[in-house]
Amino acid sequence: MKAILAARDLCKSYASHDLFSMLSVTFHVDERVGLIGPNGAGKTTLLKILAGVEPPDAGSVDRANDARIAYLPQVDVFPAEATVEGSLLDALTDILLEDYEPSVRARKMLRRLGFKDGNVQVESLSGGWRKRLAIGCQLIREPDLLLMDEPTNHLDLEGIDWLERFLERSSISFIVTTHDRYFLERITDRIVEINPRYRGGFFSVNGHYSDFLEKREAFLQIEDEERRALAGDVRREIEWLRRSPKARGTKSSSRIDAAQGKIDRLSEVRQRHAAGPKIEIGFRSSGRRTHDLIVAKGIEKTFGSSLLFRNLDIHVTRGSRLGIAGNNASGKTTLLRTLAESVTPDAGNVKHAANLRIALFDQQRRQLDRAERLRRALSPSGDVVSYLGRSTHIIPWAKRFGFRADQLDTPVGDLSGGEQARVLMAMMLREPVDVLMLDEPTNDLDIESIEVLEQALIEFPGAVVLITHDRHMLDRACTDLIGLHGDGRWGNYGSVVQWQAAQEENADEQETSDKPEDGKRKQPPRSRSGLTYQEKREWEGMEEQILAAENEVTSLQAQLNDPIVATDHERLEVAYKAHQAAQHKLDTLFARWEELEQKKAGD
């Protein structure tokens, strides 16, 4: 398989912290790679180095000749007052194209991204739609390889589903960092974990994420057995070296060298296995026996002119774990805060058990004082923390949440997003509680931390109310799921897939209601069988047809704007009908092009 990128002996450090050393890894054409690893392993930095955005301290990156590589950073940056279509066109300014190509590509990409109006201001978009646009600004360049850093950040469940389907239909190769395990399972065919625990600094498996987990477990088990065997050999060699001085004189220098080699190898293996702190989370329950903790009856809430939910009944009991699913702006956070009694419903009521103790994980992390030192955030009363009836010094307590001792005097605001999330979890552990309420706790966490949090929620004997776009966590940790549909409707579902199916049914019903009464309009059929010879000829001539159709629409629009035509009723009616027909023709051409593009992906 042909290589498109090859990293050779890469080294990179920040301050006194080594991200990776002598890292050599190769990526091939037509691969869809999931790049994972613990926070601080250097995934984002590696992507920047591969993209040529940041230089390594040592080593090099070899790129295939003429390979077009695009890079999608975590943070989306657009110029002030930029429009959606303008941003797409700006992404093409450094690419040599025919005069007609930029507008054609932009119109096509608008359709693929789901934008109905290219003149919308970017600053008015939600985080999810900004992310869609940022992805489109890279894809419109038609790269051979797309490097994506956490593209699912800020996307709601619908947006993540859209991105999955988008990438599934596309023939593009990519390397993506993400902590979304379902996403990795569905759209990647190779997983590379960057982690100093492995010799060489990484572990790679061809296959889906589930294949990776299986093979990594087997690898680590074999490595652990070899480590124990090596430790036994070292003990025997040390005993041999410690024999009496008389016997030592008969020892061969080759065996002494071999013994020292085994000791050094064992030290290196132990150092690799000790690299990276292990996160430990165990929420403390108050132990109360009250069954009914929160009872909401007939609650309703409107935000502005949008009805979020109506006639909603919720019963939170001891041991229940309630998930709340919904797209952005559907009212998830408002519902959670209504259950916490920090927001008053417009109708209905919420009743708490007496003296109910709630611990809240706020998505915006407003409980954190960004100027406060990590030391005081973890332990406000001194350098000793009381947990489960025992006193613990702040250094081992900090290590429990993945912090080093040299970080204790760092301001909380200077910590990474994942580190701030862990600080907030440490604050939630201080006191025993009855109900945990968590609003997007997985943002910025690595997969290992998410799995630890997931298990802690499962084991917590109190009640849990959880909002997260991590579908794996919702399905595994929650016993009940409330799905909000964004129009006041809601439902109880057994899984995220059931909620998504209900969302699609609602969308189909809405689309049907918007169709003409004859109901004859149909979507073009999808095919993955590839293009026929005639379809290939049709596809090759599509850009010229679209350009001609766009010119016709522009010309007719100019006629409509002409004051002479506008004051002549008959000429205006003729121009209007011609413009409508031309616009319909253009839309039909774009729809046909999209259909052929999807079929072409199967070639």
Write out pLDDT tens, residues 69-83.
999 998 888 999 999
User: Over 90: is that where the pLDDT of 519 sits?
Assistant: no
Write out pLDDT tens, residues 270-284.
666 665 557 888 898
Helices marked H in 365-460: 374-378, 394-400, 417-428, 447-459
What pLDDT is attached to residue 14?
A: 79
What pLDDT is attached to residue 528?
A: 43
Give the rounded percent of residues in the chain with a pLDDT score beyond 90: 51
User: Over 90: is that where the pLDDT of 159 sits?
Assistant: no
What CA–CA distances, in Å, run from 154 to 68, 283, 327, 368, 470?
27, 27, 11, 21, 12
Among 192-196, 206-210, 555-559, name the one with the lowest average pLDDT.
555-559
Write out pLDDT tens, residues 543-570.
778 878 878 877 887 887 787 877 777 7
Taking the domains of the chain in order of start, what are their residue ranges? Answer: 3-213, 225-274, 292-506, 533-600
Write out pLDDT tens, residues 230-254.
777 777 777 767 765 555 555 567 7
What pLDDT is attached to residue 525?
A: 43
**Mean pLDDT score across all residues of the chain:** 86
What pLDDT is attached to residue 543?
A: 74
- Compute the average pLDDT of residues 489-511: 84
- Of 3.40.50.1820, 2.10.10.90, 3.30.460.80, 3.40.50.300, the CATH number of 3-213 is 3.40.50.300
- Compute the average pLDDT of residues 526-541: 66
Say if CB 32 and CB 188 are below 8 A apart.
yes
What pLDDT is attached to residue 420?
A: 92
Q: How confident is the model at residue 118 (pLDDT cuts 50, 70, 90)?
A: very high
| CA-based max dimension of the chain | 119
Q: How confident is the model at residue 175 (pLDDT cuts 50, 70, 90)?
A: very high
User: Over 70: is that where the pLDDT of 432 sits?
Assistant: yes
What pLDDT is attached to residue 527?
A: 41
Listed residue (111, 101, 178, 180) closest to 142, CA to CA: 101
Q: How confident is the model at residue 475 (pLDDT cuts 50, 70, 90)?
A: very high
Looking up tokens 């809240």 gives 360
Among 14-23, 284-293, 369-378, 429-438, name the one with the lowest average pLDDT.
14-23
**Which carries the bigger pLDDT value, residue 424 or residue 271?**
424
Domain 292-506: CATH architecture, name and number where available = 3-Layer(aba) Sandwich (3.40)
What pLDDT is attached to residue 520?
A: 47
What CA–CA distances, in Å, run from 574 to 189, 265, 327?
55, 85, 44
Q: How confident is the model at residue 530 (pLDDT cuts 50, 70, 90)?
A: low
Same fold, 3-213 and 533-600: no
What pLDDT is attached to residue 512?
A: 58
What pLDDT is attached to residue 228?
A: 79
Q: How confident is the model at residue 526 (pLDDT cuts 50, 70, 90)?
A: very low
- Compute the average pLDDT of residues 136-152: 94
Say if CB 486 and CB 327 are below 8 A apart.
yes
What pLDDT is attached to residue 387?
A: 83
Best-predicted range by mean pLDDT (231-240, 519-528, 577-586, 592-601): 577-586
Q: How confident is the model at residue 144 (pLDDT cuts 50, 70, 90)?
A: very high
Question: Which tokens sit at 113?
Answer: 């991204």
- Angle at alpha carbon of residue 203, lines to 197 and 209, rounded to 5°: 120
Cα distance between residue 238 and residue 260, in whole Å = 9
What pLDDT is attached to residue 274?
A: 61
Please give the model's pTM, rounded to 2 decimal places: 0.78
User: Over 60: is that where the pLDDT of 469 sits?
Assistant: yes
CATH fold of 533-600: Helix Hairpins (1.10.287)
Cα distance between residue 188 and residue 202, in whole Å = 17
Write out pLDDT tens, residues 288-324.
888 999 999 999 999 888 999 999 999 999 999 999 9
Say if CB 291 and CB 210 are below 8 A apart.
no
Cα distance between residue 470 and residue 155, in whole Å = 11
- Compute the average pLDDT of residues 146-153: 92
Q: How many residues does the chain have?
A: 603
What CA–CA distances, in Å, run from 137 to 84, 102, 163, 320, 479?
10, 12, 14, 44, 40
Say if CB 118 and CB 110 are below 8 A apart.
yes
**Which carries the bigger pLDDT value, residue 109 or residue 594?**
109
Among 31-45, 165-179, 310-324, 521-535, name the one with the lowest average pLDDT.
521-535
